[in-house]
Amino acid sequence: MAKTALLIVDVQNDFCPGGALPVPDGDRVIEPLNCVVARAIHEKWFICASRDWHPRNSRHFVEFGGQWPAHCIQNTEGARFYPELYLPEELRIFSKGCAVSGLSREVDGYSAFDGRDQFSMTLRQTLPFRGVELLYVAGLATDYCVKATVLDACLIGYKTRVLINCCRGVERNEGDSRRAVMEMMRAGAEISFEPYDSMVMRIPRVQQRPQPSSRCATIR
């Protein structure tokens, strides 16, 4: 079983230049990400991808009370994966932001862990079944779906590495992506500069010194 997995988050037409909700330079993730995909195939990692898969009347959209313009509507060109992205035939796809197996259409579905595959299985169910211990995460956007996915992965307990050269952020507010990276690192994620550099950044786990109890503190 694969002990390493690559999770590609929402690299879809609508999030790339010319799409309904383009992430600035969203297509710039394609070249480095394709390098990582090639390595993952060669080393037999488990490869999966999430996608936004919204119904037309999703309350995620401004038109129906949400905060985003309509994007990645089911079975439209905008919801397709970016055509230059190299994806293996056996790719496992997790669709999110949609009503699947009783899930409400009210669910925004930022995290890939909110999605389900064609067997109605979640990532949380699938990764242990595949024996995954190390999870690489890449895609769009750093400050939304990538962040939400990474935070969930860390919370569940996976060793998680963010492929920062394979991510881009929305930056609705200046500095959102930087703050997202720091939040992910504080949660325990490592920041990887692959495929261009083997360097990994992490926040060291500092062991807390034991504190004296209040009773001991009163002793002179």
pLDDT tens track for 38-55: 999 999 999 999 999 999
> Is the bond leading into 20 cis (omega within 30 degrees of zero)?
no
The tokens of 50 are what? Answer: 């999430």
CATH number at residue 65: 3.40.50.850
Q: Are 141 and 15 in contact (CB under 8 A)?
A: yes
Phi-psi region of 50 (alpha: psi -120 to 50; beta: other; left: phi over 0): beta
Q: DSSP class of residue 93?
A: E
- pLDDT at residue 3 tops 90: yes
Confidence band of 2 (pLDDT split at 50, 70, 90): low
C-alpha pair distances (Å), 102 with each of 64, 122, 207: 20, 13, 43
- pLDDT at residue 113 tops 60: yes
- Residue at token pair 């881009």: 168
Q: Which residues pair with 25 in a beta bridge?
A: none
What residue numbers bound the domain in which 46 lies? 4-217
Strands 200-201 and 190-192: antiparallel
How many domains does the chain divide into? 1
Can you tell me the mean pLDDT for 168-190? 97
- pLDDT at residue 28 tops 70: yes
Q: Which among 143, 140, 57 is positioned nearest to 104, based on CA atoms?
A: 57
Q: Are 85 and 33 in contact (CB under 8 A)?
A: yes
pLDDT of amino acid 122: 96
Mutual angle of helices 147-156 and 176-186, in 10-degree steps: 10
- pLDDT at residue 132 tops 70: yes
- Residue at token pair 């920062």: 164
Tell me the backbone φ, ψ of residue 14, rounded to 5 degrees: -70, -20
Confidence band of 100 (pLDDT split at 50, 70, 90): low
- pLDDT at residue 123 tops 50: yes
Q: How many CB atoms lie within 10 A of CB 109?
A: 27
- pLDDT at residue 156 tops 60: yes
pLDDT of amino acid 216: 38
Can you tell me the mean pLDDT for 131-146? 97
- pLDDT at residue 103 tops 80: no
pTM score, two decimals? 0.88
Residues annotated as catalytic are: 10, 96, 145
pLDDT of amino acid 105: 47
Question: Which of 150-154, 160-164, 166-170, 197-201 has the weakest average pLDDT?
Answer: 197-201
d(CA 5, CA 90): 13
Rg of the chain on CA atoms, in Å? 19
The tokens of 39 are what? Answer: 């390595």
